[in-house]
Amino acid sequence: MSAESKLRQYYRKRDFKKTSEPKGKIKKTKSKQPIFVIQKHAASHLHYDFRLEIEGVLKSWAVPKGPSLDPKIKRLAIPTEDHPLEYAQFEGVIPQGEYGGGTVMIWDYGTFENIKKHNGKKISLSDSYDKGSIEVFLHGKKLVGAFALIKTRMDKKDWLLIKMRDDFAHATKNPIKSKTKSAKTDRTMLQITKEKS
Whichever of 24 and 145 has its CB closer to Mn ion, that residue is: 24
Whichever of 58 and 136 has its CB closer to Mn ion, that residue is: 58
What is the DSSP secondary structure assignment for residue 175, as one 8-state letter? H
Residues 90-129, one symbol each (x = binds Mn ion by CB under 5 A, - = not), give ----------x-----------------------------
Instruction: Kindly state the smallest distance separating residue 50's Cβ from Mn ion, in Å.
Output: 10
186 phi/psi in degrees, rounded to 5: 60, 20
- Find the binder of Mn ion among 10, 19, 36, 49 (CB under 5 A): 49
CB atoms within 10 A of CB 55: 17
Instruction: Kindly state the smallest distance separating residue 62's Cβ from Mn ion, in Å.
Output: 5
What is the DSSP secondary structure assignment for residue 85, as one 8-state letter? G
53 scored as a contact of Mn ion (CB under 5 A): no
For 8, the enclosing helix (H) or strand (E) is: helix 8-13
Cα gap 118→167, rounded to integer Å: 22
Residue nearest to Mn ion (CB): 41
